[in-house]
Amino acid sequence: MQVNLRESWWIRDVEVPTRLVLAPMAGVSVQAFRRQGRRYGAGLVCSEMVSCAGLEHRNERTLGYLRVGADEHPLAIQIFGSDPAVMAEASRMVEAAGADLVDVNFGCPVRKVTKTGAGVMLLDDPDRACSIVEAMAAAVSIPISVKLRRGLENGSRVCLDVGPRLVEAGAASLTLHPRSAKQMYTGVADHHLTAELVSLVDVPVVASGDVTSRARAQAVLATTGAAAVMVGRGAQGNPWALREIIDGDCAEPTREEVAAELTLFVRETVRELGEHRASGFLKKFYGWYLGRGRFPRPFKQELVQLAATDEVVTRLFAASPGAAEIVERLEAELPDPQDEILLDQMPISLYGGG
């Protein structure tokens, strides 16, 4: 059975125009990444997860402002924490920032998160997890979505017990990454578990994990009954993967297209983070964009060594002269920055990324 990936679906009163969701990723999901994902077919984009404690205390290094662009909707802002009252207040701030959904992370297995009792640890404390969702749902008018893993241990099925309880507590959508916390990103995502969760709840379920092609997306949607698929690592520096999944367009980008998308990403990230922070943050992206045989490896190494992002752009234009014209067109399509909603003092995640 072929599923129309361009068909819209709903999370309560929020319409999502395609069945492709761009995952929240720490140190990756800055506004430039989200905007690019929307242009290439993602129906819903997500911020990286933000500490609710940071929102409460204002004591982390800050990103400056959380910018919600006119071209990002629908947008989910993801938060994490373990205190229901603090998570409720953070949800109010997310709503004030202009997000369409507030997403709560009950799936992160990273020590910096789990040691606080947050992330995937809450699957072992379902009463607290439900209290968090209930408090958040009571605090805001926008829908609450929840991202979770199968459980802490390999073979765990705890998500099938906790998932329906989260819906009863007020979750309007669930996203399941059917790997255990112990697996991290190794092994295979068991989407038989996703199908079981779909059968147990009456809200849309998003299937996350190992969706790397249009064929795989179609297979996961057809066999699980999920409302949409989530794509994460495969889209890092590679928005063309989203295009292939959503439309079946397998055409490799030209060097000019690659250089243009990277240039726009660099400029937009500098606008968001400032030159000093952006110059270090962007270095990992050079390999992601320029790899896959698109540019010689020494060229990537050359860019990493450059101190200023203007120098990076100059080298990209020199290597791909036609890129400048594409960038000009892309920048002309960006919304007016004055249309953005700003929330003062939004902290970065614990990862120290953007």
Catalytic-labelled residue, pool 46, 52, 108, 159: 108
SS3 call for 179: strand
d(CA 286, CA 138) in angstroms, rounded, equals 43
For 36, the token pair is: 């690019």
Q: Which residues contact 72 (CB under 8 A, 6 or more apart)?
A: 31, 34, 35, 38, 45
- Identify each DSSP E strand in the chain by its residue range: 9-11, 14-16, 20-22, 44-46, 50-51, 65-68, 75-80, 101-106, 144-151, 173-180, 205-208, 228-231, 341-344
Strand-strand pairing, 14-16 and 20-22: unpaired
Helix then strand then coil, % of the chain, to nearest 5: 45, 15, 35
65 class by beta-carbon count within 10 Å (0-12 exposed, 13-18 middle, 19+ buried): middle
130 as an active site residue: the answer is no
Q: Could you give the angle at which helices 158-169 and 126-139 cross, rounded to 10 degrees? A: 30
Count of Cβ atoms closer than 10 Å to residue 176 Cβ: 31
Q: Residue 77: name the closest of 134, 30, 9, 7 by CA.
A: 30
Q: Give 144's strand partners.
A: 102
Separation of CA 264 from chain center:
19
Q: Annotated catalytic sites, by residue?
A: 108
